[in-house]
Amino acid sequence: MLKKILVVDDEAVLTKMIKMNLERTGNYEVRTENQGSKALQATREFKPDLIFMDVMMPDMSGDEAIAEIREDDNLASIPYVFLTAIVTKAETEDMGNTIGGNEFLAKPVKTDELIETIERILEK
């Protein structure tokens, strides 16, 4: 069965590239959303196994969107990983790949990093 991945980022080019690269593997079904304010609805409809969420978006921040999702008992257990351009890849090593205790990947993110993260988190 395909693993369902939701990618929420205001950069449409980025979400299209992630979708294309993940779906090309044949292991993932990917839905994208380009507004943080639509993340809750997309999560309810798609029921992803994992969410990649941009930290900074113009209409709603990633942590606000995740907080909304967490308020729904049916969705609260879905794991998520923040995507951010706030820090560089070099800084991620110093931070242990967490922001406020939440896992993140620094943008630009490579497909192999996404796949490794998906597999590691969903194997738990």
pLDDT in tens, 68-117: 999 999 999 999 999 988 755 444 444 445 455 578 888 889 999 999 99
pLDDT, position 95: 43
Alpha helices in the chain (DSSP H): 12-24, 39-46, 62-71, 89-95, 111-122
How many domains in the chain? 1
Residue 103: in which H helix or E strand, if any?
A: strand 102-106
Whole-model pTM: value is 0.89
What is the residue range of 103's domain? Answer: 3-122
Which range (45-49, 89-93, 120-124) has the least confidence? Answer: 89-93
Which range (2-11, 27-36, 89-98) has the least confidence? Answer: 89-98
* CA 34 to centroid of chain Cα atoms: 12
Residue 29: φ, ψ to 5°: -110, 125
> Domain of 63: which CATH number?
3.40.50.2300
